[in-house]
Amino acid sequence: MSASQRVLPLLPLRGILVFPFMVIHLDVGREKSVRAIEEAMIRDRFIFLATQKDAQTDDPGPSDIYQMGTVAEVKQLLKLPGGTIRVLVEGAARARVVRYLATDPYFRVHVEQYPEVHVKTAEVEALMRSLVHHFEQYVKLSKRIPPETVVSIVNLDDPGRLADVIAAHLSLRIEDKQAILEAVNITERLEKLCAIVVRELEIVELERRINIRVRKQMEKTQKEYYLREQMKAIQKELGEKEDRTAEAEEYREKIAAAGLPPEVAEKALKEVEKLEKMPPMAAEATVVRNYLDWLIALPWSNSTEDRLDIKAAEAILEEDHYGLHKVKERILEYLAIRQLAPHMKGPILCFIGPPGVGKTSLGKSIARALGRKFVRISLGGVRDEAEIRGHRRTYVGALPGRIIQGMRQAGSKNPVFLLDEIDKMSTDFRGDPASALLEVLDPEQNVGFSDHYIEVPFDLSQVMFITTANVQHTIPRALFDRMEVIYISGYTEEEKVQIALRHLIPKQLKEHGLNEEMLKISEGAVRRIIREYTRESGVRNLERQIATICRKTAKDIVGGRYQRAKVSAGNINYYLGTPRFRYGMAEKEDETGVATGLAWTEVGGDTLAVEVGLCPGKGQLTLTGKMGEVMKESAQAAYSYVRSRARQLGIPEDFHERWDIHIHIPEGAIPKDGPSAGIAMATALASALTGRKVRHEVAMTGEITLRGRVLPVGGIKEKVLAAHRAGIKKVILPIENRKDLEEIPRNVKGKIEFVFVDHMDQVLAFALRERELAPEELAAVPPVPPVPVQMPAYCPLPEEQGTRIPS
Ligand code: ADP
């Protein structure tokens, strides 16, 4: 390759580089540059274009200008206003400055021009392809170069020119472009350019990725922004924005009016603030609203004034309830003490008794007597601490516990609060409700009762708590210790009649929109209801039956059947159907192997028929009728006693080797337990084995020991009332229970003969009839008279209307 020498005017370029074959407009403004152009135009229109190393230099010297440049031909020239010239130049060939001949008034240089050499080796071809390939990709990705350019470039056959054109199209730094320009050798030029294109490609790829990421983010924020703006617009259309502030204002007013303690008010206001910031439809907003509603609705400061008049209280208790003298007296004492020492934290009242004896209604009555609000919650089946204390607000659908719910319902901070059925609470893995309840009832702690939902402490110290239970032994011990227990046992028939006539009938008439003119229920009818349609210690079913009569009458009157009804013992079947119970449950005739025991269950006292069956076998003892452990042991004891007394009773002593014995207590679905059926079981057993009949009018209760001693048992009042209900005439009781007769109403005592015993022998002597021999038995062998049991002399105790058998 031979270089030709030329002398040319030099035009220094700023920030631009012209490759051979490149056609470009240049605006020329600098004095020296304009001169150079003019010189070129005068001569052969050729000019040498070289780029300044630093575009900022206004008046560059030779050292500020790259030596390698391009010889170009000026194709057009246009003078612009302001002395600037616009020229269209076309690059012709590379050239290098050999010497500066002049620097003023324009640069004149001696250059060495390099002709393009067209060599195409395999290597060059490979480089060209690679270059084109990368360039294509670059174009595709960068989108800065129109794709048509690629088409024209691909068709270029001259490797040098290809490199130059591509270099001209890339937006590269001046140094890079200069490096390409300086590469006179084709291979070197292609390699350099290839490296640059690959690097650019990577940058473009990176850029693209960044762009995508940025765009995505932009899109997301834009989308959110857009949606939010839309929502705002919608809310505005619906007038909701105003609603939200209005809602918050409303809450603030309510909070101010609710008389909340300062710390509670503060908490509530904070919640209002939260609410204000939330979109009104957000689920969280509902949670906050509910919470605020609860806070506001609770009686933080409302309270009712107590009626401090014991006389009035007494009158109200009397008015609401018949009988229950002792109970009422206890209640009045309790109220009196509360009045004298209002700040004394007295124990909690606890009414224990069977269902339907008026425990709940006594609570209501106390509230009425005191002029307080009344709330009742049932704790039956509560096994979760959260039912007492509530769920934290983070739970979906969380609510306060029953105590706080009760307080809201009461609407005053000093209601009478009845906790029903505390004996029916249970404990499991969900926490112990009893311990939560303890906090509720403890006067030391209930000043600041904490509910998980409400979060702020609530003062329960002015609440009068009353609890009720059916039995005592399942009440959690810690609770029981804090309570003052008042036992309410069942009613006698007489009491029930009075309760029905005075309270239940008027109440039901009113509830059914009837009056005394329309419906009269006679005393005889009431008595029949009690005897034949109910069997209970309380009066709940009695009340239900009366309600049934009222409903039927109301229907008939409205239906035009009749105007007024008179219900009597004679026509009661019409209203209530056939009787459900046989009055006088006692056996109608004497029988062998059946004795009547008396039991005491949660629903009051009851009679139990103890049956004993014998069949040939090997002395196995079977016990059925859902007996509890204690009762089973008691049956064993009875069996052992009878065995030990076999000879005296005239039973073959090897009976236990020949007979299997089955003791059964009917009504098997009802669980029975306790030792008090012991003597009844022994009696039935002795009767079955001796063949002597049991007197049918006798019922008995008492625990038996192996030696036949009879021990005292509990629940005498309930048992005696049950015996009376069942029409029993004679009751055998342990001698040590004689004192319990005091509690029994006179009219009941008068109708029953009591026999007190302390040994089983006396029970058998009294309850069993003499053995009657079957005629054929009599005919067969003249029987050996059994060893006579000593029949003790009866010694009636008139003041107790009972009979005592001395041992
Ligand atoms: P408990 O709570 O003991 O199960 P309730 O208080 O529910 O019983 O009483 C059932 C019904 O019997 C109520 O309507 C109540 O007014 C009535 N009642 C119970 N005992 C009496 C009584 N001594 N005098 C008047 N009504 C009574």
Mean pLDDT, consecutive 10-residue stretches, the chain (807 aa), reads 81 92 90 91 92 90 93 91 89 92 91 84 90 89 82 85 89 90 90 91 88 85 81 73 74 87 90 83 84 91 84 90 87 83 77 90 90 91 86 86 92 92 77 83 85 90 90 84 86 87 93 90 91 86 94 91 88 88 65 87 76 87 85 90 88 84 76 82 91 90 91 87 85 92 85 92 90 56 43 39 41
CB 268 within 8 A of CB 276: no
Q: What are residue 298's phi and psi, to 5 degrees?
A: -70, 145
Structure tokens at 722: 């049950």
Structure confidence at residue 785 (pLDDT): 44
Q: What is the dihedral of CA 741, 743, 748, 750, to 10 degrees?
A: 50
Structure confidence at residue 582 (pLDDT): 65
Residue type, 57: T
Which candidate, 5, 21, 1, places its Cα nearest to that of 118? 1
- Does the beta carbon of 497 lie inside 6 Å of ligand 1? no
Structure confidence at residue 277 (pLDDT): 80
Model pTM score: 0.59
Residue type, 581: F
Structure confidence at residue 110 (pLDDT): 94
**Which residues sit opposite 419 in a β-bridge?**
377, 467
Q: Which atom of ligand 1 is nearest to the CA of 323?
A: 23
Q: What is the dihedral of CA 755, 761, 767, 768, to 10 degrees?
A: -160
Structure confidence at residue 325 (pLDDT): 87
Rg for the chain, CA atoms, rounded: 56
What span, in angstroms and rounded, lies between the C-alpha atoms of 120 and 283?
75
What span, in angstroms and rounded, lies between the C-alpha atoms of 353 and 603?
8
- Does the beta carbon of 267 lie inside 6 Å of ligand 1? no
What span, in angstroms and rounded, lies between the C-alpha atoms of 691 and 670?
29
> Which of 365, 489, 537, 676 is labelled catalytic?
676
Structure confidence at residue 583 (pLDDT): 60
Q: What are residue 783's phi and psi, to 5 degrees?
A: -65, 145
What span, in angstroms and rounded, lies between the C-alpha atoms of 180 and 164?
8
Structure confidence at residue 782 (pLDDT): 42
What span, in angstroms and rounded, lies between the C-alpha atoms of 333 and 326?
11
b/e code 714-731 from CB counts within 10 Å (16+ = b): ebbbbbbbbbbbbbbbbb
Structure confidence at residue 241 (pLDDT): 58
- Atom 27 of ligand 1 has which residue's CA nearest to it? 358
CB 688 within 8 A of CB 594: no
- Does the beta carbon of 418 lie inside 6 Å of ligand 1? no
Active site residue 53: no
CB 446 within 8 A of CB 461: yes
Q: Which atom of ligand 1 is nearest to the CA of 468?
A: 2
Q: What are residue 374's phi and psi, to 5 degrees?
A: -125, 130
Structure confidence at residue 773 (pLDDT): 57
Structure tokens at 732: 């055998």
What is the DSSP-derived secondary structure letter of residue 606? Answer: E
Structure tokens at 487: 């036992």
- Does the beta carbon of 360 lie inside 6 Å of ligand 1? yes
Question: On the CB side of 592, how many CA atoms lie within 13 Å of its CA?
Answer: 13
3-state DSSP call for residue 73?
strand
Active site residue 719: yes
Q: What are residue 655's phi and psi, to 5 degrees?
A: -60, -35
What span, in angstroms and rounded, lies between the C-alpha atoms of 6 and 403?
109
- Atom 25 of ligand 1 has which residue's CA nearest to it? 321
CB 368 within 8 A of CB 320: yes
The whole-angstrom distance between residue 547's C-alpha and the CA centroid of its chain comes to: 38
Stated as kind and residue range, the H or E segment containing 108 is strand 107-114
What span, in angstroms and rounded, lies between the C-alpha atoms of 162 and 151?
12
3-state DSSP call for residue 642?
helix
- Does the beta carbon of 328 lie inside 6 Å of ligand 1? no
Q: Which atom of ligand 1 is nearest to the CA of 507?
A: 14
3-state DSSP call for residue 139?
helix
Structure tokens at 1: 């390759």
Which candidate, 441, 481, 489, 467, places its Cα nearest to that of 351? 467
Structure confidence at residue 731 (pLDDT): 94
